[in-house]
Structure 1
Amino acid sequence: MKCKILHESKGRLRVHLFCGKMSLDNADVLEYYLRAVNGVTDVSVYDRTCDAVIVFTDRKAVLKALADFAFEKAQKMCLVPDHTSRKLNREFEDKLVMTVIARFISKTFIPAPIRAFIAVIRSWKYIKHGLKALLSGKLSVAVLDATAVTVSLLRGDFKTAASVMFMLNIGEILEDWTHKKSVADLAGAMSLNVENVWVKTGDTETLISINNVREGDLIVVRTGNMIPLDGKVAGGEATVNQASITGESLPVRKSEGSYVYAGTVVEEGECVVCVDKALGGGRYDRIVKMIEQSEKLKSSSEDKASRLADRLVPYTLGGTILTYLLTRNVTKMLAVLMVDFSCALKLSMPIAVLSAMRECNNYKISVKGGKFLEAVSEADTIVFDKTGTLTYAAPTVEKVIPFGNRDADEMLRLAACLEEHYPHSMANAVVAAAKEKGLSHEEYHSSVEYVVAHGISSTVENEKVIIGSAHFVFEDEGCVVPEGDEELFNSLSGEYSHLYLAVSGVLAAVICISDPLRAEAADAIKALHDCGISKIVMMTGDNEQTAKAVAAKVGVDEFHAGVLPEDKANFIKREHEKGRKVIMIGDGVNDSPALSEADAGIAINTGAAIAKEIADITVSSEDLYMLVTLRKISSELMKRIHHNYRFIVSFNLMLILLGVGGIIQPTTSALFHNASTLAISLKSMTNLLDEEEK
C-alpha cells in the first residue's frame, strides 16, 4: 500500500497510509499485521488520521511489510483476536468528549433559567439512587452524592449543583472505562489452549485440528478432558464440571439432548457432542463473565479495603454535618461531601488485581481470583507432584520388557490403544512411542474405563486388559507375574518409571519410561527458597528408589513415594493443622483432590483438563521459573494494594481538611478527588515487575 513517512527517529517511524477512510476494524488489521513483522517491537495505529507509529529494530523489514500491505490480504491472515480494546476505548473516548462539549455549550450558550431547569431534571438520577440506598438501610456513596446535589439545589445554587453533577458524571465514565478495559484486556489474553479434538465419523475416530471442526461435526470427549466447543450431546453420558461458566460447585450430569459449553470439563464418563458453534462462538462473553465472577474471589486485603470504604461513608456524612454546625458555611460542608474514600478504594483494588492477573497471563499464568494471588504471596509450603512438573511434560519410552513370551511391539501397540485417550504425560509417551515405530492400533479401539490415579481397564478381543501402577495391577487387580519370569521382574531397573500391562490377570509387559528432570528444576527450587518458601515437598506415585534420587537432585526438603491422591490431600490437611499456607502443583487427574485442598492449587497447562479446571492457577509447563515469577507478582500485588490503601486514605483526608479550611472549593475538591482516583487506578493497571525482574 502507498504510504508516506511523516517523521523518523532512531528505531521509530510515523507513517501515513493513503487509504481514504480507515475503520476501527481496519486499524486493528494494520496493527496486528505490523506486530507480526519480525523486528517490530511496538505499534500504535490512529484510524482518524490513517497514521501508524512503529517502533522497530529492523527498518528494511518494516518498509517491506508496509509496501506489501493490503487490508483484504492481511485480513485473511487471521491475525486479529476475536476482541480488541479499540472499540471499547473509542466508545468511552467519544462519551467523555461529548460530556465535556455538552458542558461547554451549556455554560456558554444556554440562558441561566434553562440551565437551572436542566440541573433540576438531571439531579433526579442522583437523588433517586440516594433515596434507594437509604430505604434499603445503606449509607453508601450514593447518599453522599445525593446530599451534595440536594443541598445545592435547596440553596438555589444551581451553578454549583450542575458543576457537582458534571464532576460526578466524569468520574463515573472514567471509572467504568478503566474497569471495563481491565476486564477486556484480561479476557483477550485468555484462551482454551485446545489444539486437537477427536471427531467421530461412523465407527471411526480421527484426531484433527480444532480449526478444522465445523458445525454439525461429532466430537468425542472423555474423562478428564475439556469440552472444546459448544454443542448438544448426541450420545453417551457424562458428569460435567461447569464451574467456570455457571459457577455451579457440583458437576452436572449430561445425557443425550443436553447442551454443553466450551471450556467445561468432563469429570467422569464419555459423550459425543454435536458441534453447535464453531471456534470462538460465545466464548469471549463467557470469559468476561468468568472474570467478573472471579472478582468476587477477593483477597483479604481487597475485602478489608472494600469494607473500610463502606464503613467510612457514615463518618464522611457525620463530618459534613459537624462542619456545617461548627462553621455554618455550606460551601465548606459541600467540600467535605464531594470527597469520599469509597470510589478510589473500591475501584483501584479490583483493578490492581485484574492488572496482576493480566500480567500473569503475559507469562502464560492464568489466575482465577485475587485471593489465590494473596495465598501465593503468603505461602510457606509448596507440594510438587513429580511427573510433568519437576520432570519434563514429555517423558519417553526407553524400552518395553515383555513377559510370558509375548512380543514387545504388540504389547506397545496394545498399551497405546488404551493410553491414547488418557490425559497424562506418561500416556502421551506410550502413544508417541507406538507412533514412532509405526504401530497402528485403530483396530484395537474398545471401551475404556478410567480408574483415577491408578490406570486404565478395558476389554480387547474378549480379554480384560489393564495398564497402570504396580499398586493397581498387583494389589487392586490381583494380577500375577508369569511363572518363570520372577527373576526378570525383580531385575527391573529403578532408574525408570514403570507402567505395568496385564492381560487376563497375568503381567504381559513393563513399559520403562524415562522421566528426565527439567534442566532448571534445581535452580528453580533454590529460587523459590530464596523467595521465602521454607518447605518444599515432592510427592509421587513412583517407587522409593526413584523418588529419593530425584529429591536429592532437585533439592526439595522432603519427599514421599508411592502416594495415592488421598495421601497428597491428607498431607496438605496436616500442614494446615500446623498453621502453614500450602501451594499444590500438579498436572494429572490424580492431583485434583490435593489441588482442591491447597490454599492455592496450581495446575500445569499440559496436564489433564480436569486438573486445570479444579486448580486456582494454571502455569505454563515450559519453565519452572514461572512459579518464581508468580510468587514475585503476588508479593508485589499485595504491596501495591497496601500502598493504594494508605495513599487513598491520606490524600482524601487532606482534601477534606483543605475544604473545611476554606482553601479549596467543592468543585475543586471533586476535581482532585476524581483525578486522584483515576491516577491511582491507571497506576494500578501498570505491570508489577520491572524488565530486570522478569
Structure 2
Amino acid sequence: MQFRILHELPGRLRLNLELPLRPPVDPSQVEAHLHDHAGVRKSSFNPHTRNLLIHYDGSAATRVALLIRLEAAPQPQARRRRSPSELDRKKKTVVRSGTLLVLRPLIPPPVRPFLAIAGALPVLRKGASALGRGQVNVDVLDASAVGAAMATRDFLTASIITFLLKLGDYLEEWTRRRSRKLLTEMFHVEEEWAWVVRDGIEERVNLEEIHEGETVVVRMGSLIPVDGTVLEGEALVNQASLTGESLAAGKRRGSSVYAGTVLEEGSLRIQAKKVGAQTRAAQMVRIIEEGEALKAQTQSQSEALADRIVPYSFWLSGLTFALTGNPARAAGVLLVDYSCAIKLSTPVAILASLARAAQHRVLIKGGKYLEQLARADAFILDKTGTLTEATPRVAGVHAFGGFDRDYLLQQAACVEEHFPHPVATAVVREAAALGLHHPEEHAEVEYILAHGIVSRLHGRRILVGSRHFVHEHGGVDMAAAEKEIETFACKGHSILYVGIGGELAGLIAIHDPVRTEAHSFIEALRREGIERIIMLTGDNEATARTIAEELGIDEYHSEAFPERKVEIIRQLKAEGYTVAMVGDGINDSPALSHADVGISMKHGADIAQEACDVLLMEGTLADILAARRISKEGMGLIRENFHQIIAVNSAAMLMAVTGATPPVFSAALHNLGTVAVGLRSLKPLRR
C-alpha cells in the first residue's frame, strides 16, 4: 500500500494513502493492519481525505516497523454498500416532498395538481387500505383531510399537508430508532468484528462468524465481543454496562467475561462460551425490546381511548362543515388526532424505563410488570435467599436414638448432595470439612417439593427435611427433641430433621445470616407507603418469630409451603391489593406466577428465574427499590405525556373548528406535539 508522510510529531504520524476515492474504502480494514502492532496506541482512517492518523509510543523502532507493515499491506477493499433502511427511505421521501414544495413557484401551474396528487398517493393508499380492513383510524383521517383539500382544488394546502405528514412519519421513526440506538449503546452490542485465533494465526472476522469454543483475542481499549472464560493474560475490564460497577474488575485465567464490556488495560485470550444473540448483553437487549409488547394497562387504555376518538373526529368535521360551510375548517379537524402521539410516546417511554432499570441491574420483562411494580402496595418476602444471605452453614448437630453424630451428618450429606439447594449444600460442605466421606449406599433419592428427601439406606427408610414432612410423612415421633428444637429455634436457626427407620435420628441446625441491608429495605418499603409487608418461611413458628422480630416485620407465616404461599397471594388480591412476591427457590415459583409481579434473584433456581416478571441480576434488595422508583417515574412520564397530548391536540382542534388558524397550522401543531412528547419519552435513557 503506497503512502506519503504529511505531518509528523513525536509519537504522532499523519499519512496520506494512495487509494481511490470511489468506491470508498472501509476504514476498519485500514486500521486493522495496525490494530495489534506493538507500540501503536491508536489509529484512525478518514476515507474522504484518505488520511491515516497514527498515535504510537514515539520510539524510532516502532515508527520504522509500522511503516514497513503498511507498505507491505494489501490494498483494502471497498466498503460494502448496505441496503437503505426504513429511516433512510422516509428521509428521502421527506426531502423530495419538501424540495418540490419549495420549488413550487417555479413549476408550471398546469403541472402542480399532478405533482400534488402524486405526492399524496401514499397517504391516500394508506387510508384506503385501512378502510379495506374495516378500520377507521388515523390513516383514514389523514387521507380524508388530503382528499378534502383536493376536492376543493386547494392543491397547495394538499401538498403542505402531505409534506407535514411525511415529516411527522420520519420524525416518529427517528425517535424510535434513537431509543433503540441508546439502548444498544448502553450495552455496547454494535461492534461488528473481532480477532480470532485460527490455526495459530490471528484473523479478523465478523462477529457472526465467531463460533463457540474459539479463542478470541481482545486488547486494550476494545470491547469484549463474546461471553467466555479467560485462557491467557491479565486485564482490567469495565463492566459498568452490565453490572453497574464503576471500578474496573481484574480478570485473569479462569475468570468469566461478558460481551459488551470494555477492556481498559492489558490483553486477554478468551474461550468463547456464548456468541451473537446468546450473549448476556444481547439477551438483555432482546428481553427489553420484547418487553414493549407486554403493554401496561395504562397504555392499552390510552390507545383504546385514542382509537375510539377517531370516529368522533369525522362527526366533528362534518358538523363543522354543516355549520360553517367552510371545507378548510372541516379539513383542519381531520388533521388532528390523539392516537398517533400516544402510540409513539408510550412504547418509547416504556422501552426507555425498561432500559434504565437494566442499567440498575434489574431486568423487568415488560411494560405490564413495570406498571404493576409501580402500583404494588403489598410485598410478600420469602425468608431464605431474600431476607437472608442464601449462604447457610451448619450451626449444630444433635443425634438421638443411639445414632452417632458423625453417622447422622454423613448419611444426611449422602442424600442431600443430590439436591442443589443452599441448605443441602451447607450439609454437604460441613461433612466434607469434618472429613466424613459418604459412599453411595442408599437407594434412589426422591425429592418431595418444599418438604424434603426420602430414600432407603441398608433396607431402612431415611427422610431428611422439615418437621411436618418427617413427622407426618414418616410417622416419626418428635417428643424427645422438643427441648433442643426450642433452643435452636430461639437462636433463629432453621432445623433439618433426619429420620431413619421410623425413628428420629437427629436434628441439624442451619444458620442463614440475615442480609445486612434487610432491615433498611423493610423500612424503605414502609416509607414508600407499602400497606402490607409479609414474610413467608418454611421454618417453624419459633424460628419465624425470631427472624421477624429481628427485622421488625409484624406479619409473617411459618411452615408456609407452596400451596399456602399461593393461598396468601390469592387472598391479598381478593382484598384489592396489588401483590409483589420476592423469592428465589423452586418452591417459590408457583407464588411468583400467581403474584401481580414476581421478583426473583439471579442466584435463584432456574425455574424461579423463568417464572418471575422481574429478575434482580445482582441480587440486592436495594435494586428492588431502584426498580420501583424507575417504574413509578416511568408511569408518571406516560401520564404526563397523555395529558400533554390531550391539551395540545385539543387546542389544535379548537383552532381548526373556529377557523382561528388554517388547516396547515393544525397539521404542524399536531405533528410538532407528537414529536415533542416522543423525544420527551426518551428522558429515562438520558439520565
Deviation at 1:376, TM superposition (A): 2.6
* Equivalent-residue separation in structure 1 for 2:599 and 2:527 (angstroms): 20
2:524 to 523, 527, 540: 527
* Equivalent-residue separation in structure 2 for 1:629 and 1:26 (angstroms): 43
Change in 2 beyond 3 A, CA 1:106/1:535: same
- 8 A contact 1:398–1:513 mirrored in 2: yes
Change in 2 beyond 3 A, CA 1:556/1:397: same
Deviation at 1:552, TM superposition (A): 0.9
* Equivalent-residue separation in structure 1 for 2:275 and 2:641 (angstroms): 40
The alignment status of 1:98 with 2:85, answered yes or no, reads no
Change in 2 beyond 3 A, CA 1:335/1:575: same
* Equivalent-residue separation in structure 1 for 2:58 and 2:604 (angstroms): 41
Mapping of 1:18-29 within 5 angstroms? none
- 8 A contact 1:452–1:590 mirrored in 2: yes
Q: Secondary structure at the match of 1:678?
A: helix
**1:376 matched residue in structure 2:** 373
**2:470 matched residue in structure 1:** 473
Opposite residue 131 of structure 2, the aligned amino acid is: L
* Equivalent-residue separation in structure 1 for 2:350 and 2:27 (angstroms): 29
Mapping of 1:228-307 within 5 angstroms? 279-281=275-277, 294-307=291-304
Structure 1 residues 211-253: Cα deviation after superposition (integer angstroms, max 9, x where no partner): x9958xxxxxxxxxxxxx9xxxxxxxxxxxxxxxxxxxxxxxx
**1:565 matched residue in structure 2:** 562
Opposite residue 123 of structure 2, the aligned amino acid is: Y
Change in 2 beyond 3 A, CA 1:443/1:120: farther
Deviation at 1:413, TM superposition (A): 5.8
Structure 1 residues 184-204: Cα deviation after superposition (integer angstroms, max 9, x where no partner): 76689899xxxxxxxxxxxxx
Q: Secondary structure at the match of 2:582?
A: strand
Deviation at 1:624, TM superposition (A): 1.6
* Equivalent-residue separation in structure 1 for 2:435 and 2:586 (angstroms): 29
**2:220 matched residue in structure 1:** none
Mapping of 1:123-522 within 5 angstroms? 123-179=120-176, 182=179, 279-281=275-277, 294-401=291-398, 415-416=412-413, 418-420=415-417, 422-433=419-430, 448-458=445-455, 465-479=462-476, 492=488, 494-495=490-491, 496-503=493-500, 505-508=502-505, 510-522=507-519
1:654 to 651, 655, 664: 651
Deviation at 1:46, TM superposition (A): 12
- 8 A contact 2:145–2:331 mirrored in 1: yes
Q: Secondary structure at the match of 1:652?
A: helix
- 8 A contact 1:404–1:485 mirrored in 2: no
* Equivalent-residue separation in structure 2 for 1:572 and 1:66 (angstroms): 68
Deviation at 1:519, TM superposition (A): 1.0
Opposite residue 172 of structure 1, the aligned amino acid is: D
Deviation at 1:394, TM superposition (A): 2.0
- 8 A contact 2:288–2:355 mirrored in 1: no
Deviation at 1:504, TM superposition (A): 5.1
Opposite residue 117 of structure 2, the aligned amino acid is: V
- 8 A contact 1:636–1:688 mirrored in 2: no
- 8 A contact 1:424–1:607 mirrored in 2: no
- 8 A contact 1:420–1:431 mirrored in 2: yes
Deviation at 1:521, TM superposition (A): 1.2
Deviation at 1:542, TM superposition (A): 0.7
* Equivalent-residue separation in structure 2 for 1:301 and 1:96 (angstroms): 30
Opposite residue 469 of structure 1, the aligned amino acid is: S
Change in 2 beyond 3 A, CA 1:670/1:478: same
Q: Secondary structure at the match of 1:687?
A: helix
- 8 A contact 2:97–2:163 mirrored in 1: yes
The alignment status of 1:594 with 2:588, answered yes or no, reads no
Structure 1 residues 377-428: Cα deviation after superposition (integer angstroms, max 9, x where no partner): 3332211111111111222233444556666666656555544564543234
Change in 2 beyond 3 A, CA 1:414/1:607: farther
- 8 A contact 2:383–2:537 mirrored in 1: yes
- 8 A contact 1:389–1:586 mirrored in 2: yes
Structure 1 residues 412-460: Cα deviation after superposition (integer angstroms, max 9, x where no partner): 5655554456454323434554566677779689864332111234567
* Equivalent-residue separation in structure 2 for 1:668 and 1:472 (angstroms): 75
Deviation at 1:160, TM superposition (A): 3.7
Q: Secondary structure at the match of 2:683?
A: coil
**1:223 matched residue in structure 2:** none
- 8 A contact 2:101–2:159 mirrored in 1: no
Deviation at 1:506, TM superposition (A): 4.8
Change in 2 beyond 3 A, CA 1:325/1:607: same
The alignment status of 1:642 with 2:639, answered yes or no, reads yes
Structure 1 residues 335-364: Cα deviation after superposition (integer angstroms, max 9, x where no partner): 322221111112212222222222221222
For structure 2, which runs of at least 5 residues remain unmatched after alignment?
A: 18-23, 37-43, 50-54, 63-80, 189-209, 214-226, 228-272
TM-score normalised according to structure 2 size: 0.68
- 8 A contact 1:186–1:357 mirrored in 2: no
Change in 2 beyond 3 A, CA 1:66/1:422: farther
Opposite residue 366 of structure 1, the aligned amino acid is: L
Q: Secondary structure at the match of 2:168?
A: helix
Opposite residue 627 of structure 1, the aligned amino acid is: I
C-alpha RMSD of matched pairs (Å): 4.7
Opposite residue 358 of structure 1, the aligned amino acid is: A
Change in 2 beyond 3 A, CA 1:600/1:389: same
The more displaced of 450-459 and 462-471 is 462-471
For structure 1, which runs of at least 5 residues remain unmatched after alignment?
A: 5-14, 34-44, 51-62, 69-86, 192-211, 216-228, 230-276
- Count of aligned pairs: 555
* Equivalent-residue separation in structure 1 for 2:46 and 2:568 (angstroms): 58
Q: Secondary structure at the match of 1:517?
A: coil
Deviation at 1:480, TM superposition (A): 5.9
* Equivalent-residue separation in structure 1 for 2:363 and 2:298 (angstroms): 21
Opposite residue 612 of structure 1, the aligned amino acid is: Q
- 8 A contact 2:381–2:387 mirrored in 1: yes
Change in 2 beyond 3 A, CA 1:485/1:659: closer
Structure 1 residues 541-571: Cα deviation after superposition (integer angstroms, max 9, x where no partner): 1111111111111111211111211111112
**1:576 matched residue in structure 2:** 573
The alignment status of 1:608 with 2:605, answered yes or no, reads yes
Opposite residue 313 of structure 1, the aligned amino acid is: V
Structure 1 residues 613-635: Cα deviation after superposition (integer angstroms, max 9, x where no partner): 22222234643222222332232
- 8 A contact 1:587–1:606 mirrored in 2: yes
Change in 2 beyond 3 A, CA 1:103/1:136: closer
TM-score normalised according to structure 1 size: 0.67
Change in 2 beyond 3 A, CA 1:492/1:300: closer
The alignment status of 1:682 with 2:679, answered yes or no, reads yes
Change in 2 beyond 3 A, CA 1:361/1:666: same
Q: Secondary structure at the match of 1:583?
A: strand
* Equivalent-residue separation in structure 1 for 2:126 and 2:453 (angstroms): 60
Deviation at 1:466, TM superposition (A): 4.0
- 8 A contact 1:633–1:688 mirrored in 2: no
Deviation at 1:533, TM superposition (A): 0.6
* Equivalent-residue separation in structure 1 for 2:662 and 2:434 (angstroms): 82
* Equivalent-residue separation in structure 1 for 2:396 and 2:30 (angstroms): 55
* Equivalent-residue separation in structure 1 for 2:334 and 2:13 (angstroms): 49
The more displaced of 670-679 and 521-530 is 670-679
* Equivalent-residue separation in structure 1 for 2:120 and 2:463 (angstroms): 74
- The sequence identity of aligned pairs, in percent, is 37
Deviation at 1:529, TM superposition (A): 0.6
Change in 2 beyond 3 A, CA 1:287/1:604: closer
The alignment status of 1:670 with 2:633, answered yes or no, reads no
